[in-house]
Amino acid sequence: MDTTEEAVEELNKIPWFRELKTEHIRKIASFSTIRRVKAGEIIFREGDTHESVYIVLEGRVGLEMFVPHRGKVRFYTAEPWEIFGWSSVTPNVHLRTAGATAVLDGAVLRVDAQKLSEACDEDCELGYLVMRRLARVVAGRLLVTRLQLLDMFANPETKNV
């Protein structure tokens, strides 16, 4: 099976893509590759330039950022069929705002962000469906972040004086 057909097969399994037409799936698959990852493998680092958006196919991927005086802090773990690195298809974000590391052995689908953006610009229907789904992902991540902040501020660490 060639890489495009393998990508089509994987994309068809993902609920996120169920509303897309076959031609849209094939288009996205044409600029996607499957990457096997090992636990602990860095997929990208905070501060790297944006080139790809990813979807977890198997395993888990931890998203982390550097916090002064604490080091790397994992703030989210992406599960199978979840998208990460999505800011690479948004305007005006040129560097990764977080890093991604495989938590378990698995596989991710790497989608060329520039080509995805171009495909969305060329085909309004595809662009609408992709951006609508990305908006849902962003809204979900904002909710998770908000809950984490509420938890952090509701239970501040006490310091011995």
The Cα 127–Cα 132 span in angstroms is: 8
Residue 4 has which token pair?
């495009």
Question: What per-residue confidence (pLDDT) applies to 161?
Answer: 46
Closest by CA to 89, choosing from 133, 56, 59, is: 133
> For 55-84, what is each residue's pLDDT tens digit?
999 999 999 988 888 888 888 899 999 989
Contact 39, 107 (CB under 8 A): no
**Sign of the alpha-carbon torsion through 80, 124, 95, 75:** negative
The Cα 157–Cα 39 span in angstroms is: 31
* Domains of the chain with CATH codes: 3-154 (2.60.120.10)
Closest by CA to 134, choosing from 7, 11, 17, 4, is: 17
Q: Is 46 exposed, middle or buried (0-12, 13-18, 19+ CB in 10 A)?
A: middle
Give the type of residue at 144: V
> For 109-133, what is each residue's pLDDT tens digit?
999 999 999 999 999 999 999 888 8
Residue 5 has which token pair?
């057909």
